Each structure stands twice: as C-alpha cells, then as structure tokens.
C-alpha cells in the first residue's frame, strides 16, 4: 500500500509541478528602456517569439493614458519620451495575454554619456597590465645585457 500512496503523491506532485508551467508557457514579457531621448520596448512570449501587432498603452504615474501604439513584427515599439515621469507600459498581446512594465523617471533623466564607474576589476586589470608590460620589458633588457 505504501508504494501506491507514494505513486499517487508523486503523480499529484508532477501534476502540480506542470500546471503553472503550462500556464506560463504563454506568458508575455514586456521590457522597456530609455536611451537618447526615446523609450524602446520589446515584447515577446515566454518561448522567445516576439509579439507582433501587440497593443502597447502607456500611462503616467497618475494612471492617465499618455499614448498608445502597436508592436512591429519584431515585437518592438519605440516612442519619444513624452514626459519625465514614472511611466507604466501595458502590453496586450490579445487572447488575454497581458503584462506591464514600469519605467522609472530616473532612467529617463540618466545621461546616456555618463560612464559607469570603473570597478575593482578594471583597476586590477590595468595595474596587472602595467606590471606585466614592464616586467616583459625588463626581461628583454636583461637578456640584451648579457
């Protein structure tokens, strides 16, 4: 009997495991970023296919409609930054597939040309490079001296 119970539990576990997977299989994803005065959005299904002709609506922080448009064949939709505000992009891919993406205003005001601060890795790489080059030069010079 023990084995039967265990099998039942296993089966139930597998069913439970797969149900959310099945539901997620047609999740749509929406991603947006701001760059050089424009906002770019990309829409794709969870299997990687792009959402063609999906409806994108943009709302401001007070939930007012700012603009709307449709994704192209690659699932892309871009528009000039309408105003500096926390914008919510809502993608409706049809048949109940919907998702949203919130783009904070900090991302819009960030300067594109502002470089990322160099990290420890870059510093160590540079110092290592300097020491390596001078070490090599010293090696060559010491060979010549002989």
Partner 1 sequence: MHISDGVLPVSITIGSYVAGVALTAWSARHIPYRDMPRVAVVTAAFFVASLVHISLGPTSAHLLLPGLAGALLGPAAFVSIGLGLLLQSLLFQYGGLTALGANILMMGLPAVACGWFFQTFKGKGINRGRQVVVGGLAGALGTVLAAIILAVLLMTGGEDFFGVARIALAAHVPVILIEAVASGLTIGFLARVKPTLLQSSFAGPDDNTPGTHHD
Residues that bind partner 1 (CB under 8 A): 115, 118, 122-123, 125-127, 129-131, 133-135, 137-138, 141-142, 144-145
Owner of token pair 């690659």: 74
Tokens for 59, please give them.
């709302």
CA dist 102 and 64 (Å) reads: 14
**73 versus 112: smaller Cβ distance to partner 1:** 112
Tokens for 43, please give them.
């829409």
Q: What's the closest the beta carbon of residue 138 comes to partner 1, in angstroms?
A: 5
**12 versus 118: smaller Cβ distance to partner 1:** 118
Q: What's the closest the beta carbon of residue 140 comes to partner 1, in angstroms?
A: 10
**48 versus 119: smaller Cβ distance to partner 1:** 119
Owner of token pair 């960030």: 110
Q: What's the closest the beta carbon of residue 109 comes to partner 1, in angstroms?
A: 18
**37 versus 142: smaller Cβ distance to partner 1:** 142
- Give the helix, strand, coil percentages of the chain, each rounded to 5: 35, 35, 30
CA dist 67 and 88 (Å) reads: 11
**73 versus 143: smaller Cβ distance to partner 1:** 143
Q: What's the closest the beta carbon of residue 137 comes to partner 1, in angstroms?
A: 6
Helix (H, G, I), strand (E, B) or coil at 127: helix
Q: What's the closest the beta carbon of residue 110 comes to partner 1, in angstroms?
A: 16
Tokens for 7, please give them.
């099998």
């Amino acid at each position: 009997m023990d084995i039967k119970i265990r099998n039942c539990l296993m089966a139930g576990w597998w069913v439970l495991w797969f149900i959310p997977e099945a539901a997620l299989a047609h999740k749509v994803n929406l991603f947006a970023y701001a760059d050089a005065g424009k906002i770019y959005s990309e829409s794709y299904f969870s299997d990687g296919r792009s959402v063609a002709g999906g409806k994108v609506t943009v709302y401001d922080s007070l939930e007012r409609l700012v603009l709307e448009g449709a994704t192209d064949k690659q699932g892309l939709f871009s528009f000039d930054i309408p105003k500096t505000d926390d914008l919510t992009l809502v993608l409706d891919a049809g048949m109940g597939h919907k998702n949203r993406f919130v783009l904070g205003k900090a991302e819009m005001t960030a300067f594109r040309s502002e470089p990322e601060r160099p990290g420890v890795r870059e510093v160590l790489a540079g110092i290592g490079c300097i020491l390596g080059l001078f070490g090599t030069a010293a090696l060559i010079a010491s060979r010549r001296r002989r």
